[in-house]
Structure 1
């Protein structure tokens, strides 16, 4: 079984609600993540993604001016090797089937329905490495 050293991870949180961003940051710190960047919308999130090159992105779906769907398309189309493969986990209060279908069609690495919890975030991060053994080896997780 893969063991994740959360302290090694760099996480980007793209969420328009400041309170929710703060809550996500607190929960990530509680599970041991030390490096957390954040953005209030998809447009700024893409710039932050290129600047910080996080290992995983948690992204809300409903934001303006660029929502999570547009953000994900932007990530997958960035012409920089590796950045286009950054794991993205959608965070949303909306479990609408159209969003779930979109997520699957566009290689989302996870889908967490709000309200968030420590176990939901921890498990979604863990799943990224369980489902990608190459990524797990690169990080030295076993």
Structure 2
């Protein structure tokens, strides 16, 4: 793995809870990702629009959201009109550690699976694995 400068990384946070988005934003900033490079979406439909607009390098997405859930979002991402969208690594961030949810995530080829609450170290490690880089 090569060392990677997190100042250039664009991350999209998808979670229906503003507190969780705020918490993860703070963690990302502590890792070295600038606040201006962290984008947010409060649901899966907004996340599709943000993905097509921002073209993030990484997406961190909740599973259980009202209406369109995180799994449906990832599935839609794979069918997006922009082919590069299908290759954006997605890390699922959820309180669901159940075998069924993990199996569905694996079936969708997500790049990582974090169970809430998360630590700075866990988020950093998950990002490094998803992007195949080493963060300082």
Do they superpose with TM above 0.5? yes
Count of aligned pairs between the two proteins: 132
Contact 2:78 2:86 in 1 (8 A): yes
Contact 1:56 1:86 in 2 (8 A): yes
Tell me the residue number matched to 1:10.
10
Report the secondary structure of 1:82's partner residue. Answer: helix
Deviation, 1:104, is 0.8
Tell me the residue number matched to 1:23.
23
Tell me the residue number matched to 2:86.
84
Deviation, 1:126, is 0.3
Cα RMSD after superposing both structures: 1.3
Contact 1:27 1:118 in 2 (8 A): yes
Report the secondary structure of 2:45's partner residue. Answer: helix
Matches within 5 A, 1:1-142: 1-34=1-34, 35-130=37-132
- Provide the C-alpha distance between the structure 2 equivalents of 1:128 and 1:84, rounded to a whole number of angstroms: 14
Contact 1:50 1:83 in 2 (8 A): yes
Gaps of 5+ in 2: none
Report the secondary structure of 1:57's partner residue. Answer: strand
Gaps of 5+ in 1: 131-135
Contact 1:4 1:126 in 2 (8 A): no
Structure 1 length-normalised TM: 0.89
Structure 2 length-normalised TM: 0.92
